[in-house]
Every structure is written in C-alpha cells, then in structure tokens.
C-alpha cells in the first residue's frame, strides 16, 4: 500500500510532492533536543567530521570485530516464530582457526563452584601459556575480570557469554543491512518492546505513542525515546544498505531513498517519522555520554585489549583512549543526574523497573526470525544496556582512581566492551547516513 502511495505521488504530483521531500523527512530534525542541552547541528558536526572516522578504524580491529553470540536461543514469548530462509538472513560463524588466540583465552570463566585456589591456579596457567609477557598484576586483573559478577548492575541478559551454543561471528563479514525478510515477527517484536513491558500501564488504548509520551516523568520518557531511537537507527541502516541489484553476476547494495521515505516521511508515518529521527539523536547523546564517563576504566595500565598481537594491541588501546578523550571533549553532554533524582525510595524502584524492562527487551531479540537481524539486535541492545550500566555506576567508576586494590570497583567483560563500541558505531553510522539522505533528497528537486 505504501509503495502504491509513493508511486501515485511520484507520478502525478511531482512538483508539490517531490519539492518538499527533504522537508517532510527532516522538517523537525533540527535545533535543540528535548530533555537535553544539545542540538542536532552540533551532533552532526562532531560525529561526521571528528568521531565517525576514528571509530570506524577502531571497529575494524580484531578485538572489536569478533563478537560471541548464541543465535539458537528459543523465543521465550511465543512459539510460532519462523526462521528466515533467505540467504541474506544467514550468519556465517567463525571457524576456530579464524579467531585470534588472545580472544580464545579471554573466554575462560571463573567458576563459583569447587576450590577457588585450584581454579585460580589453573586459570593462571592457561593465561600464562597464551601470553608469557603478561605481568603478574595483569594476570591477577584478568583473573578478577573473570570472577567478577555484576549481574545486579546489568541492564540486559548475558546468557551468550557462557552458553556452549555460542559462536564467534566476524561482524565485518556479516554487516547489518536489508535482508528482504518481511516476517510477521518484526511487527510482533516492536509491538512487544513498546507495549508489553512493565511500563504498559501508562498506555491508553486508541492513543498514539507521542500523545501520552509528553506526560511521562523524565525517566520513562527517556526509556521510550531510547527504544524509539534504536528502532530508527536500525531503519536507517536498512535503508542505507539496501539491495539495489541482484543478478547472476552482481549484487549491489546502497542507499534507497524510497525506502527511507517509507520509514520516515512525515506524511507516510502519520507525522511521526521526523520525531523518530530526533530520538536517534537522543540515543546518540546517551551512548556518547557513557563513553565519556567510562574513560577511567580504560585508562588503567592493567587493562589490555588483548588479542595476542602485542604491537597491534598497544596501538588499539592508544586509539581507544584517543576516541574516549574525544568523546569527553564534546561540549554539550547529556546530564544523566536528571534521571532517578527524586525521592530515593521511589527513584530506586523506578531504576529497578528500568533495568527489568530493558532486560525483557534483550530477551525479545531471541524472537527475531532473521538471524542476521537477530545478531545485530542482540548486539545493539547489549551495547545500550552496557551504556546504561556505565551511566548509573558513577561512584564505582570514580573509585577506580581512589583505590590501589587489584580488584576494581567497576568491571566490563570483553563481551560488554565489544557490544558497547559496536552499538555506538551503529548509531554513529546512522547519523552519518542521515547527511547522505539529506543530500540525496535535495538532489531529487533539481
């Protein structure tokens, strides 16, 4: 139906419709953002000119390109989810020989069962056998990394780290893009995310999403804007990497302006499309703020982005710290102290509801029928969950500089680190792609 509408408009109303195409998609994607001190233009300039190129370089390194995921979890919410049979829905896992040795060693987990001294000794031998150049301090830090249990601070499920069904996937060889899958699950999943969560008592039947959103407290409003921003980002990716040509000698991917309009044009989305894009910028600010706040964790000398390639690992950490300092230099960060700042008892309950709701969303990703979509959905929800964990662990992160103990007050697993930066990489890419769609839409008028 939407394609038919576009065809009619393109064919019979070229002047009135096409002349305002860019306006209808981006008319509200400008100026200051709600609940923030920042504006769209500042984010565009900072991301597209400074941060985006550095981030892409980091994400192409071995430490960040390999992600461990279990794509075989059953859907916990309904039983009629079918799997996509299209070839572009498939995910190719890594063979053991393709995984860097250092990443294999970091997958060892500390067990709470059995004798702790024995476990520590065996773990030290395994780590030492892989990299004899590690200092005693670093080995102890790695042991503690594996032992640390921060389940109470997590905002998403982490079953993939320990599951025997999990496999490493090369993210560069399995890019997020339009797969052609049009299963019913896509609608059911986003409907569940928006409506079937612990805040659903706030929804009023028959009213639109934004009709009641403005009346919510800042925390609940932020939650839904994050989900909406994530949804918008994924739609931008699918429009930007669309299959334009598929024949026996060539498969060509690129931006599809018509698809972008179907997803964000104000007239085709009942006025909501530009608002969804604004929520993408809100999500960007949240994840950027998390990168700025987590800097002390990565500045510790004992932390290594270890893959077994000493020289490259050192360069990757230098690049990572440069990127985090760049994030910290952003002039108009989101102020997370405005969240959960009321009565302590009520704030704690709301924060707990926030966590439980987001964990529920991370479980919903196991219902996605397209495996490539499931991969990127799980990664991006874990990345956002990690960002939220960082934002609300300020005291623990500050304590990293105040304590000389080898046991840190705040920890991130490698899985969380990879998800955090790759998820932000997706948001950063979306912001960059919007600049390209602005240009393409403007060229339609010429």
DSSP 107: T
Closest C-alpha to 441, from 29, 1, 12: 29
290 contact partners, CB below 8 Å, separation of at least 6: 386, 387, 388, 390, 391, 420
Better-predicted residue by pLDDT, 374 or 7: 374
Mean pLDDT of 209-215: 56
Residue pLDDT, tens place only, 404-437: 555 567 888 899 999 999 999 999 999 999 999 9
- Strand, coil or helix: 13: coil
Query: Would residue 15 count as lying in a domain?
Result: no
Confidence check: pLDDT of 94 > 70: yes
121 is catalytic: no
Q: Any binding-site annotation on 179? A: yes
State residue 178's pLDDT score. 83
Q: Are 371 and 176 in contact (CB under 8 A)?
A: no
Structure tokens at 194: 């928006």
Query: Would residue 25 count as lying in a domain?
Result: no
State residue 132's pLDDT score. 44
332 contact partners, CB below 8 Å, separation of at least 6: 36, 37, 38, 39, 42
- Other Cβ atoms less than 10 A from the Cβ of 108: the count is 17
Q: Rounded to whole angstroms, how far apart are CA atoms 196 and 190?
A: 10
- Other Cβ atoms less than 10 A from the Cβ of 382: the count is 27
13-19 contacts: CB < 8 A, separation 24 or more?
A: 18/444, 18/445, 19/445
Confidence check: pLDDT of 349 > 70: yes
Domain that holds residue 384: 30-443
Closest C-alpha to 35, from 172, 217, 251, 187: 217
Please give the share of the chain, as a percent, with pLDDT higher than 90: 34
Confidence check: pLDDT of 341 > 90: no
Query: Would residue 1 count as lying in a domain?
Result: no
Cα separation values, 2 from 260, 269, 350, 415, Å: 12, 10, 39, 40
Q: Any binding-site annotation on 338? A: no
Confidence check: pLDDT of 105 > 50: yes
Strand 66-69 versus strand 167-170 pairing type = antiparallel
Confidence of residue 155 (pLDDT cuts 50, 70, 90): low
Q: Are 216 and 202 in contact (CB under 8 A)?
A: yes
Query: Would residue 20 count as lying in a domain?
Result: no
pTM of the model: 0.83
State residue 48's pLDDT score. 96
Q: Are 179 and 84 in contact (CB under 8 A)?
A: yes
Q: Rounded to whole angstroms, how far apart are CA atoms 3 and 9?
A: 10
Rounded to a whole number of angstroms, the distance between the first and last alpha carbons of the chain is 27
Q: Rounded to whole angstroms, how far apart are CA atoms 59 and 171?
A: 9
**Counted domains in the chain:** 1
Mean pLDDT of the chain: 77
Confidence check: pLDDT of 146 > 50: no
Q: Any binding-site annotation on 337? A: no
38 is catalytic: no
Q: Are 370 and 84 in contact (CB under 8 A)?
A: yes
Mean pLDDT of 92-101: 89
Q: To 5 degrees, how large is the angle CA 161–CA 167–CA 173? A: 120
């Amino acid at each position: 139906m939407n394609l038919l509408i576009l065809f009619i408009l393109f064919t019979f109303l070229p002047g009135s419709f096409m002349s305002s195409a860019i306006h209808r998609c981006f008319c509200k994607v400008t100026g200051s953002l709600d609940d923030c001190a920042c504006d769209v233009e500042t984010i565009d300039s900072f991301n597209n000119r400074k941060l985006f190129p550095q981030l892409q370089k980091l994400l192409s390194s071995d430490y960040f390109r390999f992600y461990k995921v279990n794509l075989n979890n059953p859907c916990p919410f309904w039983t009629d989810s079918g799997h996509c049979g299209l070839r572009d829905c498939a995910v190719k896992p890594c063979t053991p020989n393709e995984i860097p040795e250092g990443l294999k060693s970091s997958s060892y987990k500390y067990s709470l069962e059995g004798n702790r001294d024995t476990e520590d000794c065996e773990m030290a031998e395994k780590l030492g056998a892989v990299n004899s150049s590690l200092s005693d301090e670093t080995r102890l830090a790695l042991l503690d990394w594996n032992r640390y249990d921060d389940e109470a601070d997590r905002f998403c499920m982490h079953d993939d780290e320990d599951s025997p069904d999990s496999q490493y996937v090369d993210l560069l060889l399995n890019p997020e893009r339009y797969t052609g899958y049009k299963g019913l699950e896509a609608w059911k999943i986003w409907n569940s995310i928006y409506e079937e969560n612990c805040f659903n008592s706030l929804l009023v039947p028959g009213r639109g999403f934004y009709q009641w959103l403005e009346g919510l407290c800042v925390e609940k409003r932020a939650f839904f804007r994050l989900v909406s921003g994530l949804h918008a980002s994924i739609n931008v990716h699918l429009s930007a990497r669309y299959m334009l040509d598929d024949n026996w000698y060539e498969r060509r991917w690129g931006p599809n302006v018509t698809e972008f309009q179907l997803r964000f044009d104000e007239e085709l989305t009942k006025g909501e499309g530009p608002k969804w894009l604004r929520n993408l910028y809100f999500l960007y600010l949240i994840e950027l703020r998390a990168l700025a706040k987590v800097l002390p964790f990565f500045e510790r000398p004992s932390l290594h982005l270890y893959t077994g390639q000493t020289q490259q690992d050192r360069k990757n950490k230098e690049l990572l710290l440069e990127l985090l300092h760049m994030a910290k230099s952003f002039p108009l960060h989101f102020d997370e102290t405005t969240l959960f700042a009321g009565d302590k008892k009520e704030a704690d309950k709301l924060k707990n509801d926030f966590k439980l709701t987001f964990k529920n969303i991370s479980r919903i990703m196991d219902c996605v029928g397209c495996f490539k979509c499931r991969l990127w959905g799980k990664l991006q929800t874990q990345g956002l969950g990690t960002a939220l964990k960082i934002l609300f662990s300020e005291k623990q992160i500050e304590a990293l500089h105040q304590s000389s103990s080898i046991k840190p007050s705040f920890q991130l697993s490698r899985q969380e680190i990879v998800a955090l930066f790759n998820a932000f990489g997706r948001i950063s890419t979306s912001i960059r792609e919007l600049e390209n769609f602005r240009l393409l839409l403007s060229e339609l008028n010429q």
